[in-house]
Structure 1
Amino acid sequence: MELLCCEVDPMRRALPDPNLLYDDRVLHNLLTIEERYLPQCSYFKCVQKDIQPFMRRMVATWMLEVCEEQKCEEEVFPLAMNYLDRFLAVVPTRKCHLQLLGAVCMFLASKLKETIPLTAEKLCIYTDNSIKPQELLEWELVVLGKLKWNLAAVTPHDFIEHILRKVPLPKDKLLLIRKHAQTFIALCATDFNFAMYPPSMIATGSVGAAICGLQLDDGDSLTDLLAKITNTDVDCLKACQEQIEAVLVNSLQQVRQQQQQSNPSKTVDELDQASTPTDVRDINL
């Protein structure tokens, strides 16, 4: 008798629950509580003395690459960055501990969002074994204590489906918009300028930027609709969307510069065919 279990897709996730998705009370509750999970301050000015903004960007880029390589759920990276920002807003941290903190935050986020979470041993390998599993587990308790075990933070991904179901566009276009919006959200999470923004504004701006990039917008009417869905000020939404688009352009420029330095013999067109951790080249603005 053959006892081998041969599931085709053991990582299949549950489909969205229409009872939650089509109940406006869920969106209202998300909007009500989202600011509870923002960092308490712009911590580079009042808390951190040893850590600089460029260091945060470096560790965020590393965290994103780990999540991409491990094929983590889209929610893991933004949630991990939420933990990192909230911790840094209350605890002065040495720069030599920043990568360890990033690994711990990914560890916690994957436990909350993944069917099979990242292991401590695997995360230590991604640090070139500069940290030990026991050290990561010890810091896990420290981070949990400083976050008061409040891990179910609201992130921009929580708003995406609620926004898309109210956008009057074909379903096949919504799939592409979702993918692009998720890329924008990841880019925003790497940029400290967005750390204090409400998740609903980042989500709405990301959807708006995706629609604009795909040339599916019909002028200000769609922007007004997006702003209405999440009770966002129209001018603030436009400013956020422009800032998100600027982050994308800057990210593309940095990738091209890095690849030209490592492959000086290649043309710009050849470099543009390369893949990046965030798939930003799939987006045409």
Structure 2
Amino acid sequence: MAIEKDARLLEVLRKRFKPLTPSLSLNLPPLLPFGHPLPLGGGEGRVRRWPAGSRAQGVIKVRGILSPPGGERVASRPGEGVSGTPALRLLHDDAFQFLQREPRDWSDWKLVANLPYSVASPILVELAQSNGCPERMVVTLQQEVAHRLVSEPGHKNYGLLTLLVQLRYEPRGWFKIPASCFFPAPEVGSACVTLIRREELLLNKEQTQVFTKIVKRAFSQRRKMMFKLLKEDWPEEKLKRAFGALKISPKERAEKSNLEQFVALSATLVSLHSK
């Protein structure tokens, strides 16, 4: 899809993104060979062209970005500039509210998004925790958020967002996007990240709810022992049994524990609760 905005912006994109092509082909898996692409982005502009034969079935435009003082301006009206693609729906909405308001099965979709930096994390978590999350997500977002998505235990960026997304997705490459690629240039760093949905669920629905509760509590106060924090939600005796069975030290801190340990702890606590 080509967005007509102004000549200067288009020229900047042509010049700046061309050098990134090798990085895209080397570090990121193929994006659109199968399934339905789900573009999601903010801004305004008129749809000039949709690729012939595309199977895309939806576009969500984020509301409120670049709206004029006098009120909202519809970025792309339904059907404008789109011919021969009856399945295509153009929506002008708040993406996060739309996902919460109209839950659906996205499991055979691919998300392609330039996410507004202020809502990138909530949107990714909302999709990752949905029953039918997209097969993959390729997103442009703030570089700091990208670091958190791909982080590992022991790193300063490792935390709640890392675990909530990685429970369902594996990070598969990322690259930094220079500020000069944007007009006007942002004051924060930007990056593009690819997330691939795991082939098998690590936890069932009940266990996933416990997992979410555990990681939220465990990261509620960084650098504090996880065991002491979890006692606010679980009986101490059950925690001792679970930690002992998994050989997790009661002095362990959440930022040092990996995804596998949190998964095992969630499953164990559910099992102990049912006995």
Q: TM-score range by the shorter chain?
A: under 0.3
Higher relative contact order (CA 8 A, sep 6+): 1
The structure whose residues are more often helix, as a share, is 1
Bigger Rg, structure 1 or 2: 2
